[in-house]
Amino acid sequence: MPRAPAPPLQDKVVLITGAARRIGAALALAFHERGAKVAVHYRNSEAEAAKLVAGMNARRQGSAVAIGADLHDLSALAALPGATVKALGRLDVLINNASTFYPTPIGQITAAQFDDLVGTNLRAPLFLAQAAAAELRLREGLILNIADIHALRPLQRHAVYCAAKAALVMLTRSLARELGPRVRVNAIAPGPVLWPASGVDAALRRRIVARTALKRSGKPADVAKAALFFATEAPFVTGEVLAIDGGRLLAGEDR
């Protein structure tokens, strides 16, 4: 009787920042289910990261590890890919998922807010890509940056966040040129998939959903499926940004 084909990501290793919960956890589980080993990065969510990793290791022993690091710390950024290789043997995919999001109305922006938002959403992906580049070249690997549709269309009262995500889109394209031909670099721009943890007014939620072509919210699994597409089905795609937004970009801006 013929053997079943191996999972498409078997023996590959994926490092996902901000992976303890929300979209990051969905990405971790999706890649693990396809056979990958997963390094779950966290900063403040140690208990959630440990629980997620324990569940994955219960299914396949030694297939996941949790690594804590502050992405504002350059030395921690430089060490994270190496810690992944040390724990799991290699690195094939880097997913820059960790993000900071909160309002910064013009006239009220502080230097600390600017440094925080740009640090997490742009600086960390750049320096992680730099630290991982040699290993990813060796593996003909992939970098995936989780951007936002508001990198392409501004969101009121979020000027710094939108600017940082817009810069991440350009960084994606720049890295695709810099790291080719051996490393592919792409981005995913989610729309109304998960609402901010701080909450969104119910009426605003309804207006945003009504403006999507599909008239519904997305799910973290939708982002995970797009990430798996880039990792397993798109070997000739680099420097691209894929909106996962139900057609939200087709309508006007959010208010």
pLDDT score of 199 more than 90: no
| Euclidean distance between the first and the last CA atom of the chain, given in angstroms as a whole number | 60
Q: Which domain holds residue 102?
A: 13-250
Q: Looking at the domain assignment, is residue 119 inside a domain?
A: yes
Catalytic site residue from 31, 161, 164, 222? 161
Give me the number of domains the chain comprises. 1
What CATH number is given to the structural domain containing 82? 3.40.50.720
Q: Cβ(100)–Cβ(116) under 8 Å?
A: yes
Residue with the bigger pLDDT between 195 and 46: it is 46
Q: Looking at the domain assignment, is residue 54 inside a domain?
A: yes
Give the whole-angstrom CA distance, residue 14 versus residue 85.
Answer: 10
- 161 part of the active site: yes
pLDDT score of 241 more than 60: yes
Q: Looking at the domain assignment, is residue 111 inside a domain?
A: yes
pLDDT score of 152 more than 90: yes
- Report pLDDT for 1: 57
Neighbouring residues of 187: CB distance < 8 A, sequence distance ≥ 6: 144, 145, 146, 147, 168, 169, 172, 240, 241, 242
Q: Looking at the domain assignment, is residue 146 inside a domain?
A: yes
Q: Quick one: tokens of 138?
A: 């060796």
